[in-house]
């Protein structure tokens, strides 16, 4: 459902992404792995249109969206949970979730989907607390909840386990699994934590120095020694 091909991106004179391509299927998790600084977050920003690309194309469900603004991409069904979460600390949990409804129309724009509270019950308990008062793990759940409020076709997550306690990592793992199983959404997950990626990946993609060097089904990650490619 997402087809990315030939992406080249530069920060000034530095060639950060080199002919990067990947696919994300509906009802599946694609995990993008790689050491620090190989260009994973940069690629996600290019996919969302936050950063311009020099060349290459991004297609969502057969439609070329390479020239769309971030806002238009979000409206087309792409939701992005950035690294570091970026929730609104001074707004309440409810207000943060309502931000996810902003681009929707009609009834959908008024109601936070109940399933978000089924997935993350803590958000219901903390509905009227300020986002900034939540723990890091709760903020991550809020950021994912806000992205899901958009009822996306494609969910893009940048290192959702970073700096988060193990019990919440398990909750997030279960949620991602159940979203993939539902079958109506594609999930692109950038992750450094190998075990989490290995558990979730239907497909994996490994980047090194701005290039894709390996990809395949998640079931082959072990045989292909993907973990070894990530070790510093």
Ligand X SMILES: Nc1ncnc2c1ncn2[C@@H]1O[C@H](COP(=O)(O)OP(=O)(O)OP(=O)(O)O)[C@@H](O)[C@H]1O
* One residue of 1, 40, 185, 198 binding ligand X per CB under 6 A: 40
Q: Which pairing describes strands 186-190 and 203-208: parallel, antiparallel, or unpaired?
A: unpaired
10 near ligand X, rule: CB under 6 A: no
Distance (Å, rounded) from C-alpha 133 to C-alpha 89? Answer: 7
163 near ligand X, rule: CB under 6 A: no
Choices 38-46, 62-70, 133-141, 195-203 (CB under 6 A): range interacting with ligand X: 38-46
160 near ligand X, rule: CB under 6 A: no
* One residue of 4, 16, 100, 123 binding ligand X per CB under 6 A: 16
Residue 80 CB, shortest distance to ligand X, in Å, is: 13
Distance (Å, rounded) from C-alpha 183 to C-alpha 191? Answer: 21
Choices 37-45, 116-124, 135-143, 211-219 (CB under 6 A): range interacting with ligand X: 37-45
Measure Cα distances from 35 to 54, 121, 128 in Å: 24, 33, 38
Of the chain, the end-to-end C-alpha distance in Å amounts to: 33
Sign of CA dihedral 115, 121, 123, 127: positive
141 near ligand X, rule: CB under 6 A: no
Q: Is 220 helix (H, G, I), strand (E, B) or coil?
A: helix
42 near ligand X, rule: CB under 6 A: yes
Would you tell me which residues interact with ligand X (CB under 6 A)?
11, 16, 34, 36-42, 83
């Amino acid at each position: 459902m997402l087809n990315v091909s030939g992406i080249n991106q530069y920060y000034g004179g530095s060639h950060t992404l080199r002919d990067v391509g990947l696919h994300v299927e509906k009802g599946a998790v694609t995990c993008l792995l790689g050491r620090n600084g190989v260009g994973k977050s940069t690629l996600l920003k290019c996919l969302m249109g936050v950063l311009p690309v020099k060349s290459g194309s991004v297609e969502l469900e057969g439609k070329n969206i390479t020239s769309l603004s971030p806002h238009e991409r979000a409206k087309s069904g792409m939701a992005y949970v950035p690294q570091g979460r970026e929730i609104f600390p001074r707004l309440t949990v409810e207000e943060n979730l309502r931000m996810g409804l902003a681009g929707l129309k009609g009834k959908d724009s008024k109601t936070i989907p109940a399933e978000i509270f089924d997935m993350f019950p803590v958000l219901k308990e903390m509905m009227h607390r300020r986002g900034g008062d939540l723990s890091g793990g709760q903020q991550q759940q809020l950021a994912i909840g806000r992205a899901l409020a958009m009822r996306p076709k494609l969910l893009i997550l940048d290192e959702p386990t970073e700096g988060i306690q193990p019990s919440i990592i398990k909750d997030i793992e279960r949620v991602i699994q159940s979203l993939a199983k539902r079958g109506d959404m594609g999930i692109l997950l950038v992750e450094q934590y190998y075990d989490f990626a290995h558990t979730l990946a239907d497909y994996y993609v490994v980047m090194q120095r701005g290039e894709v060097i390996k990809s395949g089904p998640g079931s082959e990650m072990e045989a292909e020694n993907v973990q070894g490619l990530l070790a510093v």
